[in-house]
Structure 1
Amino acid sequence: MTRKLRNIGIIAHVDAGKTTLTERILFNTGRIHRVGDVHDGNTETDHHALEKKHGITISSAAVSCEWQGIEITIIDTPGHVDFTIEVERSLRVLDGAVAAFSAVAGVEPQSETVWRQADRFHVPRIAFINKMDQMGADFGRTVAMIGERLGARPLVLQLPLGAEGAFQGVVDLVAMQALVWDGPVPVVSAVPEAMLDEAVMARARLVEALAEDDEAVLEAWAGGGEVEAALLRAAIRRGCVAGRFTPVLCGSAYRNAGVQPLLDAICAYAPAPEDRPAVEGTDPGSGASQTRQPSADAPFSALVSKVVASRYGALAIVRVYSGRIAPGDAVCLSDTGRSERVGRALRVQAGSETEVAEAVAGDVVALVGLKSARAGMTLSDPRHPIVLSGFVVPDPVISVAIEPKARGDQDRFRRALDTLARSDPSLRVSTEAETGRTVVAGMGELHLQICVETLKEDFGVEAVIGAPQVAYRAVASRRAEVDHTLRKQNGGTGLFARVKLAVAPRAGDEAGLLFRDATVGGAVPKDFVPSVERGIAAAMTDGGPYGWPVLGLEATLLDGAFHAKDSSGPAFEMAAREAFRIAFADSEPVLLEPLMRVTVTVPADYLGAVIGDLQRRRGLVAETVAGAAAHEVVAMVPLGELFGYVGALRSMSQGRGSFHMVFERYAPLPKALWDRAG
């Protein structure tokens, strides 16, 4: 396998210029011949009608291009927090990422979120400080924020040549030359005299930082001579691939300045698939650990990143980690054990596809014909099954009741929602048992708005929704016990099960069920104990006050009894459900509400009004940070108090304020407000 492939994601806060940067990359590599604009709705990656309408990236889009003989697959990810699942699953299948930052705003809240996601998957990054031509651009401040806010180790490879309206290009510290853009191709020249001292000092810091990290550079540096550019590039690559530091470049994607050196850096420093560690997984039969080397000769394994609808039917977008796959091959859906046959393999180019004869380790392709595939599933060779770790799907924080406008659309409406939920795991669809209403839950108001608009745009189904409702959770506040017996006899074999159960809060407010079996002497046969656990887990889904899910619980089976003829797994499961409801009601349950970390950026003139309004919304202001052009207010605010905040902030700040929010944690809902959850 050759080192001729790079799988790269573009990650950033909304409006940092990800899509514009992707568009310029495609233009410079000859993939497109006319540059689109986000505001005009004609970019290559924001191809969906709703992305053009809203001017934002909603769904991650993959495109391919070539630079210096290296094929680059780029995934342009959304910057809005409501679509964070798109970033999560993209980073899971990528080898590297370009993190874009606005030189004006610096490290913004969603930048921190996506950086942490990349940390979790150990994805090496290159930083690109964008918008150097805009008013208020500050390269040094942004580099400092990358180190302070993200805990990263920025390695500056370029200095900006001018700033704001005077921005002309960059000084390449590795080659010690200036690159000036007065057209599509930069003019290479000597470092301007006025910047020479600054550049010499910056290069010395670069060499010193690399000498601390790399023995080859240390040896050359200790010798006292000039350290060659080739030696520095090799060291930068080794450190970047290992994740020890983050190379930093700069430019203006909109003016196409700095994009070509960024492409050079992707080819020179970003990891190829074979630079990444062997992918780890488990044997679905034995549970034993397994690994797959990133080689086309290893047994086939791949992870499904997402499933999308297309003219071919459902497309499973997969990252091939090992082996090879071709149309007609059988694959095992390792999570379920089912085998299905691949109909077609396609190379995805944003909104279009091209058939390929084969995909090998390192490729990101779409497979047709896998009817049971879901996002996060593993595909593998049926003779060598493996289950790879997937990605974290965040719990929804907001829900609405939804129904089709026309009664005759009910079947199409349900099928369309099922398709959307299959494509987007963070969108949950359920039916209320009491009312029969369909409820969709998601990550925010925009997420649900896009869901409704997609139903109309893609499926021709108009839907109406109710008022948004917060997704509350419940926890126990104290230990409670119950001794419950299920006894039903209607002739013939009956139902009998006795369970003595204790429920208590989980230590450290952890989520999920922690179940313990403390029975002795076979009071509950071992075959029935898993049924008790299943019954409790099922009851937790709607066992809190007003039917809200229980967030976390410790449950202990203390004792029980069984009947030789009338006891069964279903009987113990039913008894456990009933026992849980009695015990949980006696545990003095507490309702929890989602608490959001809200960051408001607003001019100083409106700071007092914004802080006062946040406090009226039960918000707790954590900090205020003064910036050159605006102040930043960080506060913890209950989600239920933030509906309609966009309009309120616009009114308070005469349209000059903006805000971003992300889920922080659950917090107790005051008892006086419990009627909101009913």
Structure 2
Amino acid sequence: MRTLNLGILAHVDAGKTSLTERLLHAAGIIDEVGSVDAGSTRTDTLDLERRRGITIKSAVVSFALGGTTVNLIDTPGHPDFIAEVERVLNLLDGAVLVVSAVEGVQAQTRVLYRALRRLGVPTLVFVNKIDRAGARSDALLRDLAAKLDPAMVPMDTVEGLGSPEAESKPRERDAAFDGDLLEALDDEDLLDAYLAGVDGSPNASGMSHVAHDAALGSALDTAFEARVAKGRAHPVHFGSAITGAGIESLVEGLRRFLPGSVGDPEGPLSGTVFKVERGSAGERIAYARLFAGAVAVRDRIHVGDCREAKVTGISVFEDGIDRPRPRAEAGRIAKLRGLGEVRIGDAIGRPPKLRTEHFLRPALETVVAPVDERDRPALHAALTRLAEQDPLIGLRHDETRRELSVSLYGEVQKEVIGATLAEEHGLAVDFRESTVICVERVTGTGAAAEFIAKDPNPFLGTAGLRVDPASGTGVDFRLGVELGSMPFAFFKAVEETVHETLREGLHGWQVEGVAVTMTHSGYWARQSSAHGGFDKSMSSTAGDFRNLVPLVLMAALRRAGTVVCEPLHRFRIELPAADLGGVLAALAKLRAVPEPPELGGGRCALEGTIPAGAVHGLGQRLPGLTSGEGVLESVFERHEPVTGPVPSRPRTDANPLDREAYLLAVMRRVTGK
């Protein structure tokens, strides 16, 4: 049986959770459509989600669509929870991008569409809220073409737009519809065939114009469906998730354009974990998409970095709920128990070939402190558990200052973390003011080496490292020595320690865009003492390299030099033209760089760049500057070197830039004294 793993994505408040409810109702899974405002939806199960009326965690619910099992994944719409969306994108066979007929294309709409396009995910657009006052159709289609993609083809017509009686009906096949398809396809052969029918020219086959039109229509449909399947063209449906208008047409679009996939249940097991939650007994439950093979209860499988685990329970999503099953096969989303310390992103069996898409790391961080100091150990445990569910929470523990910091996408996420700690863990906490997370980039080349049995190296290992600038945002570890010159475990220790050490550069920020090449290696082979036992004082271990590499790497990095870069966001403000002067003055104080404004009809659109740390302040000031009529959109664009004083962040580890203090800390760690 085919499976369609379908994502519902949208800017916050566009109505995607309401659409999920409407689709479940249309499939007969629920008898009554739940309400976001009333907190009665099927997918928003967290108390916090129900109270705030927003989706925080991705949820899966299933239903049958003809001969296809649809796993519907409702994702968060608020940009503070973009990490949840990122994890879902690699699972999707298709997507519905929801756009409000009133608000139109918004900042998060653009971010999500760009990701879907780059990944080639087949995507239908659902224009929601046609029953709302101020709803648009033709103007909105022009915005979709201008701001997202010209290959947008409306599949419906709307009657009573902007009224509670608004209805959506499938378009009839006519010249205008064929013209829209041709424009989206941009195919010269099809265009020539269409023009031959329009001007009455005879065609080579001698077929009648009726037959010609039918053949051309079939060819257009086939070409359009193929283009949609590649994520290069998009059917647009209109409707209302609240009234149910247009839902039947959307469901038909899902059947036609998103057929789903059939995995190979007989192949080797391959899947990926995209969500982890805790069961009633505190055990981890992994949500995994299976791309190939099958898994059964009591199977022993490889998880993550070749860890082996025994599956103790399986549930699959069917008919609106997850049902216990003895086995799950390729194509399905399964809940797996018994996988021990499983984490989000772990591979199940063979690592699958996933689409590549990574949203940027959070740009803000804050220190979390317990109101009652006695709760500090419990707070650390609770934040560790939250970090399991969201790796991008970036928990940092500064033992010297006894501080716990978490990463953030925005202030709403801070509120959610605080409420979660209070409700699920009984912990009252305070947050410090959010600060910007910078990065460090290498500016030159630097090298360093320390040799075994030569001062000042106290460790039984030789390591030489060279640091060079590199493209991208990662750390590229390379070998400039023979792989057989040391045991593989020692090379592995060096590589892992390089990545760990570069989490805090010369100024305390994570180093990115760097290539690290190992230029020297050496060790002492395993030796025994006079009594035949292993003699550590004469034998190298992986620990020697883990302790030595930070000293060598930071010496090389110091010689190469780094520059601290802050995150910049691209903003767009729509506001009354009369308020432009006041907004420009405020932007100047926030170090924003605006571009020439677009003026028209008493309104103004202003775009530019602004430091990420100033976005929240701008959002707070804008209503007062524009009598409540200003609308702000922002999205991360790039990192740029900071101007003025260089910000630094305290290190959380033994500081290899201070050799004496570092060696003292390592000695204490080794001896436990």
Q: TM-score, normalised by structure 2?
A: 0.82
Which whole-Å CA distance do the structure 2 matches of 1:94 and 1:517 have between them?
Answer: 37
Aligned residue for 2:330?
Answer: 361
List aligned pairs for 1:306-385, cutoff 5 A.
306-311=275-280, 313-333=283-303, 335-347=305-317, 353-380=322-349, 385=350
Are the structure 2 counterparts of residues 413 and 538 from structure 1 closer, same or farther at C-alpha, using a change threshold of 3 Å? closer
CA contact (8 A) 2:478 2:517 kept: yes
CA deviation string 1:406-463 (max 9, x = no partner):
3443444333222211111221112114213221113222223212211112222222
Further displaced range: 7-16 or 67-76: 67-76
- Whether contact under 8 Å (2:99, 2:126) holds in the other structure is yes
Q: CA deviation at 1:590?
A: 1.6
The one-letter code matched in structure 1 to 2:505 is G
Give the equivalent residue in structure 2 for 1:165: 163
Partner of 1:634: 607
Q: Which of 280, 291, 301 pairs up with 2:270?
A: 301
Of 257, 264, 268, the match for 2:245:
257
Cα deviation, 1:260-296, whole Å, max 9, x if unaligned, reads 110111122213213xxxxxxxxxxxxxxxxxxx133
Q: 1:376-427: CA deviations, max 9, x gaps?
A: 22223xxxx4554486464232111113333443444333222211111221
Alpha-carbon distance between aligned partners in 1 of 2:491 and 2:332, rounded to the nearest angstrom: 45
**Take 2:251 and 2:303, find their aligned partners in 1: how far apart are those partners?**
36
| CA–CA separation in structure 1 for the residues paired with 2:150 and 2:40 | 35
RMSD: 3.7
Q: Is the 8 A contact 1:210 1:217 kept in 2?
A: no
Structure 1: gaps spanning 5 or more residues = 177-198, 275-293
- In the TM superposition, what is the alpha-carbon distance from 1:588 to its structure 2 partner? 4.1
TM-aligned CA distance change 1:631 to 1:308, over 3 Å: farther
Task: Kindly indicate whether residue 396 of structure 2 is the aligned counterpart of residue 430 of structure 1.
Answer: yes
The question of whether the paired residues in 1 share the 8 Å contact of 2:309 and 2:338 is answered with no
Residue 154 (structure 1) aligned to one of 146, 152, 155: 152
Asked if 1:495 is matched to 2:495, the reply is no
Q: Given the superposition, is the C-alpha separation of residues 618 and 677 from structure 1 closer, same or farther in structure 2, using an over 3 Å criterion?
A: farther
Q: 1:511 aligns with which of 473, 477, 485?
A: 473
Question: Residues 590-669 of structure 1: matches in 2 within 5 Å?
Answer: 590-622=563-595, 624-625=597-598, 631-669=604-642
CA offsets 1:98-141 (integer angstroms, 9 cap, x no match): 11112333322211211122234321011112233334433233
1:78-477 equivalence runs, <5 A: 78-151=76-149, 153-165=151-163, 168-173=166-171, 175-176=172-173, 200-206=175-181, 212=187, 223=207, 224-225=209-210, 226-227=213-214, 236-274=224-262, 294-311=263-280, 313-333=283-303, 335-347=305-317, 353-380=322-349, 385-389=350-354, 392=358, 394-477=360-443
Compared CA separation, residues 496 and 342, structure 1 to 2 (3 A): closer
Give the letter aligned to residue 554 of structure 1.
A
Q: Which one-letter code corresponds to 1:319 in the other structure?
A: R
- Could you give the per-residue CA deviations for residues 15-53 of structure 1, whole angstroms, max 9, x where no partner exists? 222122222222233322223332333222223221222
For residue 311 of structure 1, what is the amino acid of its counterpart?
A: S
CA deviation after TM superposition for structure 1 residue 367, in Å: 2.0
Question: C-alpha distance in 2, partners of 1:488/1:464?
Answer: 50
TM-score by length of 1: 0.81
In structure 2, the gaps of 5 or more residues are 198-202, 526-537, 652-673
Q: 1:307 to 1:431 in 2, by over 3 A?
A: same
What corresponds to 1:26 in structure 2? Answer: 24
Q: How many residues align structurally?
A: 623
Q: Deviations over 1:546-582 (max 9, x none)?
A: x222223234455688778576654455443213323
What is the letter of the counterpart of residue 51 of structure 1?
A: E
Query: Partner of 2:14: helix, strand, or coil?
Result: coil
CA distance in structure 1 between the aligned counterparts of 2:404 and 2:319, rounded to whole angstroms: 35
Which residue of 2 is the match for residue 61 of structure 1? 59
Select which of 511, 515, 533 maps to 1:550: 511
Distance 1:37 1:615, change over 3 A: farther
Q: Which 10-residue stretch deviates more, 393-402 or 94-103?
A: 393-402
Provide the C-alpha distance between the structure 2 equivalents of 1:450 and 1:213, rounded to a whole number of angstroms.
53
Report the CA distance between 1:525 and its aligned residue. 6.2
Output the amino acid matched with 2:340.
K
Query: Residues 62 and 625 of structure 1: is their aligned pair in 2 closer, same or farther, counting only changes over 3 Å?
Result: farther
2:277 is paired with a residue whose SS is strand
Measured at CA, do residues 338 and 533 of structure 1 come closer, stay the same or move farther in structure 2, by a change above 3 Å? closer
Q: Secondary structure at the match of 1:141?
A: helix
Cα distance, 1:212 vs. partner? Answer: 4.0
- 3-state secondary structure, aligned to 1:106: coil
Deviations 1:63-88 (A, max 9, x none): 22344564432111111122112212
Q: Is 2:41 aligned against 1:43? A: yes
Counterpart-to-counterpart distance in 2, 1:518 and 1:370 = 37
Check whether the contact 1:486–1:575 (CA below 8 A) recurs between aligned residues. Answer: no
